[in-house]
Structure 1
């Protein structure tokens, strides 16, 4: 929760054709982080990829987001 908004703002501040959010080292992923990732996916349609850790993937699957096109599978 403490870093979700910072992550969101940082990604949007940078100019890029495609953004890959590398979360492979993340061990805790809460609803604030889910919200930030979903907002980024909406802001960057077709230009956003998330590389999840096992824990992040599990949380996204439980949240019903496991089949999103922006979610890379290991």
Structure 2
């Protein structure tokens, strides 16, 4: 399938809602080298002092996505929460990141 890099990716979305200084980012579809920066930008919206990444509807997660989450972990520290899909959890387990405090067990 052809992906128009100049337009929106039909296999990805990231929406953000602010609640008491926390950016709650709901991500769907594929997080890869074309979309990972968009996820980071959504989570680092102005005024955010904490972030929750809801990745429960993510179907693909590659090394660029891992790097994006690590950037957010550096920025937010203990104020980052990641809610993974089973695919995301598996990638993080393989990468040795399953024990990170920001990774939710739910």
| Same fold by TM-score greater than 0.5 | yes
Offset at residue 73 of structure 1 (A): 0.8
Q: Give the TM-score normalised by the residue count of structure 1.
A: 0.93
Aligned to 2:41: 9
Which has more strand, going by share of residues? 2
Map 1:1-74 onto structure 2 (within 5 A): 1-74=33-106
State how many pairs are aligned. 74
Q: CA RMSD in A?
A: 1.0
Which has more helix, going by share of residues? 1
Higher-RCO chain (CA-CA 8 Å, sequence separation at least 6): 1
Q: Output the CA distance in 2 between the equivalents of 1:15 and 1:33.
A: 23
Q: Give the TM-score normalised by the residue count of structure 2.
A: 0.66
Offset at residue 2 of structure 1 (A): 1.2
Offset at residue 65 of structure 1 (A): 0.3
Q: For structure 1, list consecutive stretches of 5 or more residues without a partner in the other structure.
A: none
Alignment deviations for residues 39-69 of structure 1 (CA, whole Å, 9 cap, x no partner): 1001001110000000000000000000000
